[in-house]
Amino acid sequence: MTVVRRRWPRVTVGILVLVTLVVALGPTADAAASGPPPTIHWSPCPATAGYRCGRLQVPLDYGHPSAGSLSLAVSEHVAPQSRGVVIFNPGGPGESGVSILPLQVSWVPAAVRDHFTLVSFDERGTGSSDPLRCGPSPVAAAGALAGTAAAARTFAGLGAACRAADRALFPTVTTTTSARDMDRLRQALGVDRINFYGLSYGTVLGSVYRQLFPGHVRSMVLDGAVDANLSLATDATLEAPAIQQDLDHELAACAATPGCPLGADPVASYRSLQQRLARSPLPAPGDGDTTPVTEGDLDTATLLYLSVPTLTPGFFPALASAAEGDGAPLRSVALGLETDLDGTSLVGPLWTITCNDAVAHPDAAATAALARRLDARDPLGGAEAVANNLIGCPGWPRSGEAIARLGPVRAPTALVIGNTGDPNTPYASARALASTIAGRMVTYVGYGHTWLLNGSADACMQAVVGAYLVSGTLPAAGTRCTA
């Protein structure tokens, strides 16, 4: 299961359109959506009681609306006395919003469930919305250690492969186009203004939507926030010490716990395993998996655990098994960062959105140099920070809709949430986004990726988020909630 990975990961982990183009692009998007309002034909979801599922037709290319259309998967949970709509995006990029919606509904404050219809959708190129199937397998991606020649070979030609998978769809799999799709969803839902809750990469989608359609926003929660104005290399540079800090914290916590699987000195045990895997990968797990278990698997599994520790209870036992020569449990944990809830690969959609959005793509040599530099500074997080943010982008073809610049707009103030111990979208990135868009920053003093995934039961944060979404009440500047 994966609920992180960047941004764009962004962790689960940027990227927008020039402010100077907003005036031009906004009318273009509205013009492309002119004509009869879009509709959704709802029916009960076959596997989820209490939810409705449907399909939304959107233009393939908003610049050429007569060039065809595609169908997006949509799901909703209707409140008994709904007063509006909250649209969710779970992050990734590439996560299926339809699949994860029931989990998100269970995590949000009760006041939000009681007052709003909760909606999510699979973005184009993802989930059940014409998913792009391209690139290395999840096993290969999980084991790729940034900065090595083997990793460069693993991801070489990824952009060309994803473009070849669907030449018409590929250039439109961007956050800017998904924001226009989301406005079509707003129209189909029959509301003038939406409420939005985005996790991780979902904060990028929300920020882009707010930039393009400020008049159609009532409220916006950006949780585990990413400042899309930052470059891919800057994102990695910020993330490396955050991973290092969180791993140090978790290893210390394990040491203080009776029966820690890593023994009396977890830091030494972790470093020993890291060095062992760097020298000699473990044998392939078997059962169809013929790829040896590498240091890359360790880094990938570590980021997933640090992002959602309560959802990854097998991490420390997997480390102990790997130390004894069995890498299968470690590979299993690592695959959680490369696959969606249903086990399908996120590799193609994730990197297509990430790299199509990015203004600049460092080449393979620059990416390897960055990995070595960050790994020397933060040996427990440097290589994974590069793998998480830009390992798939060297050699990527130039995008027609790269996101260049965010800024303040005439829209209700967004609520920006940052965890002080977020390893995936670091606290510094959330503070940067709040400054960039003039949002109201709320600090959650706790570990893990996003508040909703790691602290949804916290009464302080529930009150803040509930009051903001239900009543539009912003918390006081400088508000902090402690886990």
**Please, what's the largest Cα pairwise distance for the chain?**
68
Judged by DSSP in three states, 31 sits in helix
- Asked if 290 and 247 count as a contact pair (C-beta separation under 8 A), the reply is no
Let me know if residue 66 belongs to a domain: no
Q: Does residue 4 sit within a domain?
A: yes
Q: Is residue 339 part of a domain?
A: yes
Q: What are phi and psi of 308, to 5 degrees?
A: -140, 70
Look at residue 316 and tell me if it is in a domain.
Answer: yes
Residue 67 within any structural domain of the chain: no
Q: Decide if 196 is inside a domain.
A: yes
> Per-residue pLDDT averaged across 92-101, rounded?
96
* Whether 239 contacts 220, CB under 8 Å: no
pLDDT on residue 7: 43
Give the residue among 314, 320, 348, 355 at the shortest CA–CA distance from 334.
Answer: 314
What percent of the chain is predicted at pLDDT more than 70?
Answer: 93
* Contact (CB, 8 A) for 251 and 380: no
Q: What is the CATH number of the domain that holds 218?
A: 3.40.50.1820
pLDDT tens per residue, range 28-86? 344 344 567 899 999 999 988 999 999 999 999 999 999 999 999 999 999 988 889 99
Does some domain include residue 209? yes
How many domains would you assign to the chain? 1
DSSP state of 50: T
Look up the domain containing 230 and give its range: 1-17+78-483
Is it the case that residue 1 has pLDDT exceeding 70?
no
CA distance 305 to 318: 11
Mean of the per-residue pLDDT values of the chain = 92
What is the pLDDT at residue 291? 97
pLDDT digits (tens, 9 = 90+) for 145-191: 999 999 999 999 999 999 999 999 999 999 999 999 999 999 999 99
**418-443 mean pLDDT:** 98
- Each residue of 305-337: pLDDT tens digit? 999 999 999 999 999 999 999 999 999 999 999
For residue 331, how far is the Cα from the chain centroid?
Answer: 21
Task: Indicate whether 50 belongs to any domain.
Answer: no
Residues 6+ apart with CB under 8 A from 429: 225, 226, 227, 230, 235, 238, 418
pLDDT given for residue 404 in this prediction: 74
